């Protein structure tokens, strides 16, 4: 039986991973769009992204588009597997 | 930890995952589209209201409103996309080319047919307007077949409303287009915005 992942289980981090899992392989979402999508503040979202990045679940790429700095996010392979396991564990609790 | 989490909490978490995933897909599909629908809906509403009540002056109104809409479209499309990925830019470029070709196609045939047309009276302009404004609706349907069913229904719906007004309400046709065509575009933009925010 799959185990729940303590890092992903926190509601904001669960939402972050759920949003990023929609992305096609090698696609990246920008920080501002994710913040609007999850109705989060810069500080709150940044703190949770850092946790996910430290766990190796998230790749963060800072770059410039024109002259503006932008941050792009994507789940890593490890992050995708961890999220899928977490969802499996949630389904197992419900007997699905 | 699995044992400690109740069924209700697990159900809530899965629901949250589903809702966020759905909102994300909508956001990616419609980034900027909500604003464009509202912008063009307002332009339609203003333009056709003028066409109804001041038909002689309406050509000048459209000469101002159409370039305004095109400029605003470019402004909106300059917003950076939510997602960057291989293939996304190419798809956006192809969609842009498709719209450009549609404008050229409609304008070319209007220019070629113009000497043979007999613009006598308001009935002619009603029919011509219906042809010109259902052309982009066909483009919506074609795009929707590849991207999202919502655009198919929007294109078919506005085309049906246009034909209905043309055949059944010729006296208030332009006002009908302002309310139903413009209103549908504005409502679609607001619905899209609400779906992912």
The DSSP result for chain B, as a single string, is -TTTS-HHHHHHHHHHHHHHHHHHHHHHHHTTHHHHHHHHHHHHHHHHHHHHH-HHHHHHHHHHHHHHHHHHHHHHHTSPPSEE-TTHHHHHHHHHHHHHHHHHHHHHHHHHHGGG----HHHHHHHHHHHHHHHHHHHHHHHHHHS-HHHHHHHHHHHHHHHHHHHH-GGGHHHHIIIIIIHHHHHHHHHHHHHH-
- Is the CB of residue B26 less than 8 Å from the CB of residue B160? no
For residue B187, pLDDT beyond 80: yes
Task: Look at residue B113 in the predicted model and tell me its pLDDT.
Answer: 83
Distance CA B44, CA B134 (A): 13
Chain B residues with CB under 8 Å of A36 CB are 27, 197
Complex-level ipTM: 0.93
Listing DSSP states for A44-93 in one string gives HHHHHHHHHHHTTSEEEEEEEETTEEEEEEEE-HHHHHHHHHHHHHHHHH
10 Å Cβ neighbour count for A5? 21
| Closest Cα in chain B to A14 | B17
In the predicted model, is pLDDT for residue A42 greater than 70? yes
pLDDT at B194: 74
- Nearest residue to A70 via CA among A32, A13, A19, A16: A32
Q: What residue segments make up the domains of chain A, in order of their start?
A: 6-93
Residue B52 clears pLDDT 60, i.e. is over it: yes
Across the interface, of A29, A89, A90, the residue whose CB is closest to B83 is: A29
Distance from CA of B74 to the nearest CA of A (A): 17
Handedness of CA B99, B104, B105, B110 (dihedral sign): positive
Nearest chain B residue to A70 by CA distance is B80
Query: Considering only the top CATH level, what class is A6-93?
Result: mainly alpha
Environment class of B125 (CB within 10 Å of its CB; exposed 0-12, middle 13-18, buried 19+): middle
Torsion of CA A63, A65, A70, A72, to 10 degrees: -70
- Residues, chain B, total? 197
Which of B5, B6, B24 is closest, CB to CB, to A37? B24
The answer to whether residue B197 sits within a structural domain is: no
Half-sphere exposure of B88 (CA within 13 A, CB side): 17
CB contact under 8 Å between B20 and A18, yes or no, is: yes
Query: What pLDDT score does B48 carry?
Result: 92
Contact between B144 and B150 under an 8 Å Cβ cutoff? The reply is yes
User: Is there a contact between A3 and B17 if contact means CB atoms under 8 Å apart?
Assistant: no
| CB contact (8 A) between residue A37 and residue B20 | yes
Least confident of A68-82, B7-21, B29-43: B29-43
Q: Give the closest-approach CA distance of B85 to chain A in angstroms.
A: 4
Structure confidence by residue, pLDDT tens digits, B137-182: 898 898 888 777 778 888 999 899 999 999 999 999 999 999 988 8
Residue B162 located in a structural domain: yes
CA-based nearest distance A44→chain B, Å: 17
* A52-61, B64-73, B116-125, B136-145 — most confident range: A52-61
Residue A25 scores a pLDDT above 60: yes
Rounded CA-CA distance B30/B189 in Å is: 9
- Assess if residue B158 is contained within a domain: yes
Q: What is the pLDDT of residues B93-111, one digit of tens each?
A: 677 788 788 888 888 888 8
Q: Of B152, B155, B153, whose CA–CA distance to B137 is shortest?
A: B155
**pLDDT over 70 (residue A40):** yes
Q: What pLDDT shows up at residue B16?
A: 96
Lowest mean pLDDT among B9-18, B39-48, B132-141: B132-141
Dihedral of alpha carbons B100, B57, B128, B145, sign: positive
Q: How many domains does chain B divide into?
A: 1
pLDDT: is A87 or B6 the higher one? A87
- Quote the DSSP letter at residue A27: -
Within a domain: residue B22?
Answer: no
φ/ψ of residue B124, rounded to 5: -60, -45
8 A C-beta contact, residue A29 and residue A19: yes
Q: Which of A5, A37, A40 would you mutate first to test chain B, the one with the most B CBs within 10 A? A: A37
- In angstroms, the separation between the Cα of residue A22 and the nearest Cα of chain B is 6
């Amino acid at each position: 039986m799959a185990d729940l992942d303590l890092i992903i289980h926190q509601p904001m981090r669960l939402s972050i991973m759920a949003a990023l899992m929609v992305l096609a392989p090698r696609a990246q979402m920008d920080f501002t769009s994710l913040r609007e999508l999850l109705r989060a503040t810069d500080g709150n979202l940044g703190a949770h992204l850092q946790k996910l990045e430290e766990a190796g679940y998230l790749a963060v790429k800072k770059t410039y588009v024109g002259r503006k700095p932008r941050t792009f996010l994507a789940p890593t392979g490890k992050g995708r597997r961890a999220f899928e396991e977490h969802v499996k564990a949630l389904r197992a609790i419900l007997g699905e | 930890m699995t044992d400690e989490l109740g069924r209700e909490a697990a159900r809530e978490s899965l629901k949250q995952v589903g809702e966020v995933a759905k909102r994300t897909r909508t956001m990616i599909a419609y980034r900027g589209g909500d604003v464009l629908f509202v912008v063009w809906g307002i332009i339609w509403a203003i333009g056709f209201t003028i066409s109804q009540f001041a038909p002689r002056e309406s050509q000048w109104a459209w000469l101002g409103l159409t370039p305004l809409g095109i400029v605003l479209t470019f402004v909106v499309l300059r917003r950076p996309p939510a997602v960057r990925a291989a293939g996304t830019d190419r798809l956006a470029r192809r969609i842009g080319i498709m719209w450009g070709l549609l404008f050229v196609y409609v304008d070319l045939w209007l220019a070629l047919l113009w000497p043979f047309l007999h613009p006598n009276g308001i009935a002619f302009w009603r029919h011509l307007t219906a042809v010109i404004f259902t052309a982009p609706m066909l483009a919506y349907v074609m795009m929707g077949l590849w991207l999202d069913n919502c655009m198919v229904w929007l294109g078919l719906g506005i085309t049906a409303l246009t034909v209905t007004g043309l055949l059944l309400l010729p006296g208030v046709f332009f006002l009908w287009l302002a309310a139903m065509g413009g209103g549908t575009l504005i409502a679609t933009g607001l619905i899209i915005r609400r779906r992912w925010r």
